[in-house]
Amino acid sequence: MYSLPISARRAGIALMAVLLSLASIPNARAASETPTLRLYALDCGRAVFTDMSMFSDADDYDGQPGQLADPCFLIRHPRGTLLWDTGLGDKIAAHPEGVDFNGIRFYVDVTLERQLKMLGLSPADIQFVAFSHFHVDHVGNANLFTRSTWIINRAELNAALAPVPPSGVDKSLISGYEHVETKLLDGDYDVFGDGTVRILNMPGHTPGHQALMLKLAKEGIVILSGDLYHTLDNRRLRRVPRINAQRADTLASMDRFEHLVTNNRARVIVQHSPEDFRWLPKFPRYLE
């Protein structure tokens, strides 16, 4: 019987071992393409307000119009992929004139699915989905991610499941949590176990509100605010939105957040700030 030279057989065995090891790693394709941590900012909608008064409990914005960005963030790590917030729902893109939500106008100019496709990804390729909180502008596309593990803050989930859900929460948008794998959090969480992607417990806006801290090789430490702050002014002036669940918790979270920023010389991204969204590399470019 013809037999391969030993070197060729060894090469064949080595190739099989590589193929088997790739098969056992979820998102092996995505992982192999990202040797370092990357942060992508995706356009997941925008909100237009005739009256921004909800963003201060001291009448700072009464009667003032305004606009907020609504990005989602894709984090590609050598060990997998995390989507941080899912924005307004892709369904809104069918209404170029926007849709009304309690007097706020929501627009989606490009769908999340289309943007993921630009990276060769589908929702099934996203290993983890996590949320700053459960307001409708952060969970709009959650139910697309039926094959991901949802990383959920327990207090946030309990509040959303109350017989009367808090204002700004639509339970139907997160109904998928019952059918997916979940990881429930009671505090901070190191997503990939190496300290580069950390979910930070920052309650106040909602009972289980969270921020996200990233350790990027070139850019340094970047913290995504969630809705701890909605605008650059709110951060600078420590304004507390009147829609927040807890004023005292909000101020305590702001204290912790600003200490982390100082101690790590971190760059802050106020997620809803149109200025910060414009500063970020335009998708599919990324920070690393």
Q: By the criterion CB under 5 A, which residues form the site for Zn ion? A: 137, 227
The minimum distance between CB 25 and Zn ion, in angstroms, equals 34
Contact, 227 vs 133, CB < 8 A? yes
Q: Of 30 and 83, which CB lies nearer to Zn ion in the complex structure?
A: 83
Q: Which residue has the tokens 């327990």?
A: 154
Q: What is the largest CA-CA distance in the chain?
A: 88
Count of other CB atoms within 10 angstroms of residue 166: 16
Strands 80-84 and 267-269: unpaired
The minimum distance between CB 27 and Zn ion, in angstroms, equals 28
Q: Which residue has the tokens 């794998």?
A: 181
Q: Of 90 and 227, which CB lies nearer to Zn ion in the complex structure?
A: 227
Amino acid at 63: G
Q: Of 169 and 287, which CB lies nearer to Zn ion in the complex structure?
A: 169
The minimum distance between CB 158 and Zn ion, in angstroms, equals 20
Q: Of 80 and 140, which CB lies nearer to Zn ion in the complex structure?
A: 140
Q: Of 81 and 132, which CB lies nearer to Zn ion in the complex structure?
A: 132
Own/partner pairs for 31-36, CB < 8 Å, 24+ apart?
31/77, 31/78, 31/79, 31/80, 31/81, 33/76, 34/76, 34/77, 34/78, 35/78, 36/78, 36/217, 36/288
Contact, 256 vs 91, CB < 8 A? no
The minimum distance between CB 89 and Zn ion, in angstroms, equals 14
The minimum distance between CB 19 and Zn ion, in angstroms, equals 43
